[in-house]
Each structure stands twice: as C-alpha cells, then as structure tokens.
C-alpha cells in the first residue's frame, strides 16, 4: 500500500514533528481537502473497498465502530453519519442522543487482516446537531489540551510502550483457565513461540501507517512488547487505539487471545504502558526540554513540567491506571512505580529521565512509568499534558530526585508519598483535583467518575475465589 505521501517516515526522538491539525472550523471544511479525498478515492479503487468502519472511542477507551457500505461513503464525507449516542459509555442521555461522525481522512487505512472482506477504517470526530464538537468525545478532550499547549508555543509529543499477554484458546474456544502462549522470558529467542505472531503484528501495524521500532518478548511468560515511533499526542493516541485493535486482530487470526489487561496473572509482572514525553517550541522547531547547564540536561520548563505531573500524580492515576485490576500491578516488587518521585537511573521512580546520548540533546524527554495499556489514550495524554502545563504556568519546582532503588527501600521512611492504592482512592483523588477536572471537561469528568465509581462499587461487593479459598473452611 502506497501511503508515503500521507504518512511520511517518522523521525527519531531528536527530530521535531509538526503538530496535528487542530482547527476549529466547520467539520467538513476543516477535515476534507481535495488532496485528501483523492488519496482516499485511490485507496478505495485500488483495494476494491466494499465496507468502511467509522471509528470513535467511548470515555473508557473502547473503540466503537459504525460500518457503512461503500455506497454511503460520499454521504459520510459531505454530511457526516448520524448515530445514537445514548448507549455509548459516557456519551449522552436519551434526550440528547443525536450526534454525527465526521471522518478524519488522514486516518483512512485499509484493514490488512481483513483483506478478504475488503474493509477500510477511518477515525472520526463526534459532533452535535449544532455542528460543534461534542464535549464528551475523548479525541476532542485531547485536542483542547493540545490547543492550550499551542497557545503557549508548545507541541506535545509522546511515545508509549505497550505490553500485552498472549493466551492460548482451549478446544471449546474458551480462554480460561489461562494458559500463556509460551514459557519464555525477557528477550528470549529459542523458547519465544510468539516471535512469528509478533512479526505478523508488525507487518499489520506498518500497513496501518504505524512505524514500529522494535518488538520482543517481555519479562513474564506469554508477555510481549512492540514499540512504535513517537509523534504528536493526537496522532499517537489514534495509533494507540489502532495498535490495540490490530494486535488483537492478528492474535485472533492465529487462534490466540491478546489482552492489555494490566495484571492477568497473579505473582508475575503485569503489563504497563510507559510513556515518553517531550515538548517542542513550535516557532523554532526545537526542543523545549534541554539545558546544557543542568545536571540532568533539563530546561527549567522541563523541570516545571515534571513538577506538575508529580503534583497531580494522585489524580492522574485514576485516568492512566483506570481499572480495578490496574492496582494489582501498582504494588512494590514488580517494577511498577508506587512512590511519587523522579530520577535518572532509577527505574522504580514514577518519572524517569532517560540518558541523553552525545550530540543528541534534541532527544531529551521524560518517561512516565505508571500508565497501563488499558487507559483511554486520548484522556490519558490530555490529563498528563494538563498536569505538566499547570506546573509550567505556576513555575513549580520538582522535589529532590530519588536515585536509590525504591523497590528495595521503604519510600515512606524516605519521605515519599505514594500513588492511590485502589480505584476507589484514585477516584477520590480525581474528584478533589480541579486541574484534571478542567482538562477533562465537566461532561467527561462527571461521567467518567460515575462509571469508575460504579466499577469500584461492583468490585467491592463481589466475593472472589481467593476469599472462598482462604476463609470458607477456616471460619
């Protein structure tokens, strides 16, 4: 598939990337140029496309689709496609359910693992009947924060590292009891049965316009990681949703089940989504993160960005670690950060500063290590950016770096605060934080807290097998 014209090769971390289109014009004029329409028409003809999936996201990050036959594509591009939003998680009540989808033609791609069905996918923005962006659309929430950064002269670019598990399916098609696809460990080769499956995943991801940098087996049995190039946060959020769908689709074709659940197996490492972040000066196309005179090579702006994320870490956690299960991963001893801290050599810190190679000052970045791959990437990146920008606006200074290994140190004795211990506590912290609330917007904030509080309440009253095994015969 020839996509070079629209998806040019992404540069390395030390190269700037122009911000994503963020105009606030009318939906059709803002998104559709003659060149874009021609490119899509060429793809449709070349691949004999018969169906197009119009994709968007609910507030918890689950991809939603409306599939239209090719005969309705012109209607979609000229007028949008109407749908009922009342049954979509966090969208609208029955009385305000009418909405329509506007395709972002830059995201139009042929689905490579469904070639026999001649299907394409395009990511859409959600609009109200009045022709304005819907405030409950997670993609719009991120666009709003990126616009705020742009007004400060900054572009926010991120590179997530998603980990996932592959499980075998039993003869009857069930996944449970869980049986990991292999018994390999970190970077193993001979016992890594997922090697061939990952190669198929990489091919499919690159066909979808995602530039893959590396893939390998992870620490836990049945666990893998595939890393793709960083980009502007909106494009990266789109790519993250695409990544999850693509990897799951390829796994299914191989008779496997892929999960991004943070902690599917007790007693072994869970799946994280470390996020590398950098800020760029839009006018100069230069990094806003570097200062040669600083011990860590960080500018005052970068230090304030770090300080903001640390200051709002507790409230952030409910967005970037959004499941009851997320907090089974965020415990000491499994290489997931618990203490609110930062440092360079310390991978146990919440925020790590990767070392800068000689002559590569433009690669200066910070790595947030507590997110997991179940997070809604649009809301996660929006909240992370809002926290950092608050630190910049208020000229916050970060605390003293923590360079000791916190996996084997009592962080509380060291004076370090901790992340919330469960989803209920995370929601309490989120509800107290005006900065993250403003970033999400009142609509998303209210419905997100409502959904996650219900999830926590459902879990609290559920009797687990562990409790039965532990107590049933003892008491």
Strand-pair partners of 366: 277
- Please report the beta strands in 329-393, taking only residues with DSSP state E, as ranges in sequence order: 342-343, 351-352, 366-368
User: Which of these, 355, 333, 351, 335, lies nearest to 343 by C-alpha position?
Assistant: 351
Q: Annotate 19-36 with DSSP letters as a single string.
A: PPP---S-HHHHH--HHH
Residue 237 shares a structural domain with residue 358: no
Last residue of a domain, one of 96, 112, 137: 137
- Which secondary structure element, helix H or strand E, spans residue 457, and what is its range? helix 442-460
User: Tens-digit pLDDT profile for the chain (475 aa)?
Assistant: 333 322 233 334 554 444 444 444 445 655 688 999 999 999 999 999 999 999 999 999 999 999 999 999 999 999 999 998 887 877 866 545 789 999 999 999 999 887 677 999 999 999 999 999 999 999 999 999 999 999 999 999 999 999 999 999 998 889 999 999 988 878 887 777 888 999 999 999 999 999 999 999 998 999 999 999 999 999 999 999 999 999 999 999 999 999 999 999 998 989 999 999 999 999 999 999 999 999 899 999 999 999 999 999 999 999 999 999 999 999 876 667 899 999 886 667 899 998 887 778 888 999 999 999 999 999 999 999 999 999 999 999 999 998 766 555 555 546 789 999 999 999 999 999 999 999 999 999 999 999 999 999 999 999 999 999 999 999 9
Which one, of 199, 185, 178, lies nearest residue 254 by Cα?
199
Domain boundary among 137, 162, 196: 137
Shared domain check, 326 and 421: yes
Residue 319 lies in a domain: yes
333-367 in b/e form (b: 16+ CB < 10 A) is ebebbbbbbbbbebebbbbbbeebeeeebbbbbbb
Residues 346 and 293 in one domain: yes
pLDDT of residue 21: 40
Reduced DSSP (H G I as helix, E B as strand, rest coil) percent helix, strand, coil of the chain, to 5? 35, 20, 45
As beta bridge partners, residue 352 has: 343, 367
The answer as to whether 238 is a domain residue is yes
Contact (CB, 8 A) for 21 and 223: no
User: Does residue 18 sit within a domain?
Assistant: no
Q: What is the CA radius of gyration of the chain?
A: 22
Residue 13 lies in a domain: no
Question: Other CB atoms closer than 10 Å to residue 459's CB: what's the count?
Answer: 15
Residues 6+ away with beta carbon under 8 Å from 180:
165, 166, 167, 168, 220, 221, 222, 223, 265
167 and 111 share one domain? no
CATH code, 66? 3.10.20.70
Tell me, yes or no, whether 31 and 67 share the same domain. yes
Q: Are 404 and 311 in contact (CB under 8 A)?
A: no
Q: Is residue 5 part of a domain?
A: no
Which CATH number do you get for residue 461?
3.30.590.10
235 token code pair: 């494009």
| Pair (199, 300) in one structural domain | no
Q: Are residues 474 and 371 in the same domain?
A: yes
Which helix (DSSP H) or strand (DSSP E) does residue 289 occupy? none
In the chain, the number of structural domains is 3
| C-beta of residue 198 within 8 angstroms of C-beta of residue 234 | no
Closest CA to 420 of 331, 297, 300, 306: 331
Whether residue 16 is contained in a domain is answered as no
User: What pLDDT does residue 157 have?
Assistant: 98
**Which residue segment(s) compose the domain that 222 sits in?**
152-260
Question: Does 287 share its domain with 421?
Answer: yes
How buried is 204 (Cβ within 10 angstroms: 0-12 exposed, 13-18 middle, 19+ buried)? buried
Does residue 184 share a domain with residue 125?
no
d(C-alpha 162, C-alpha 167), whole Å: 17
**468 token code pair:** 């039965």
What pLDDT, on a 0 to 100 scale, did the predictor assign at position 406?
Answer: 57
Using N-to-C axis directions, what is the helix angle for 138-151 and 377-393, rounded to 10°? 30
Residues 402 and 287 in one domain: yes
Domain boundary among 204, 233, 260: 260
9 within some domain = no
- Rounded CA separation 220/288 (Å): 37
Q: Within 81-130, where are the H helices?
A: none
Residues 184 and 122 in one domain: no
Helices 300-311 and 313-320, packing angle to 10 deg:
70
Q: Which residues are catalytic?
A: 84, 161, 163, 218, 225, 274, 347, 367, 369
Residue 202 in any domain: the answer is yes
Domain co-membership, 457 together with 381: yes
Chain CA centroid to CA 349, Å: 20
């Amino acid at each position: 598939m020839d996509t070079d014209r629209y998806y040019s090769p992404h540069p390395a971390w030390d190269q700037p990337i122009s911000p994503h289109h963020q105009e606030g014009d009318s939906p059709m004029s803002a998104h559709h140029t003659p060149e874009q329409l021609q490119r899509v028409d060429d793809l449709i003809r070349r691949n004999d496309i018969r169906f197009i999936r119009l994709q968007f996201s609910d507030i918890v990050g689950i991809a939603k689709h409306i599939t239209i036959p090719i005969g309705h594509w012109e209607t979609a591009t000229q007028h949008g496609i109407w749908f009922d939003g009342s049954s979509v998680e966090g969208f609208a009540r029955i009385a305000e359910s009418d909405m329509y989808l506007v395709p972002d033609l830059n995201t139009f791609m042929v689905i490579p693992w469904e070639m026999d069905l001649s299907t394409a996918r395009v990511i859409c923005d959600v609009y109200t009947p009045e022709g304005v962006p819907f405030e409950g659309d997670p993609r719009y929430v991120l666009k709003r924060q990126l616009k705020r950064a742009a007004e400060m002269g900054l572009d926010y670019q991120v590179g997530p590292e998603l980990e996932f598990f592959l499980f075998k399916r039993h003869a009857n098609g069930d996944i449970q009891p869980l049986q990991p696809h292999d018994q390999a460990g970190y970077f193993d080769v001979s016992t890594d049965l997922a090697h061939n499956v990952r190669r198929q995943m990489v091919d499919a991801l690159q066909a979808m316009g995602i530039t893959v940098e590396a893939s390998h087996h992870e620490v836990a049995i049945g666990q893998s990681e595939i890393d793709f190039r960083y980009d502007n946060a909106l494009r990266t959020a789109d790519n993250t949703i695409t990544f999850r769908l693509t990897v799951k689709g390829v796994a299914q074709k191989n008779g496997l089940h892929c999960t991004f659940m943070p902690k599917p197996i007790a007693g072994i490492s869970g799946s994280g989504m470390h996020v590398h972040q950098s800020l760029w000066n839009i006018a100069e196309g230069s990094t806003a993160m570097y200062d040669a005179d600083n011990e860590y090579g960080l500018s005052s702006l970068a230090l304030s960005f770090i300080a903001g994320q640390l200051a709002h870490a507790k409230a952030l956690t409910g967005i970037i670690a959004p499941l009851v299960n997320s907090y089974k991963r965020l415990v000491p001893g499994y290489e997931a950060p618990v203490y609110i801290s930062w440092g360079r050599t310390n991978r146990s810190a919440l925020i790590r500063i990767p070392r800068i190679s000689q002559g590569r000052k433009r690669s200066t970045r910070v790595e947030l290590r507590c997110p997991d791959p179940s997070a809604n990437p649009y809301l996660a990146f929006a909240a992370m950016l809002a926290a950092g920008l608050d630190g910049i606006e208020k000229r916050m200074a970060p605390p003293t770096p923590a360079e000791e290994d916190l996996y084997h140190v009592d962080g509380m004795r060291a004076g370090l605060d901790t992340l919330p211990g469960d989803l209920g506590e995370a929601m309490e912290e989120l509800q107290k934080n005006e900065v993250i609330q403003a970033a999400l917007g009142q609509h998303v904030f209210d419905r997100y807290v409502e959904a996650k509080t219900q999830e926590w309440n459902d879990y609290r009253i559920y009797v687990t097998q562990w409790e039965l095994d532990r107590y049933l015969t003892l008491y």
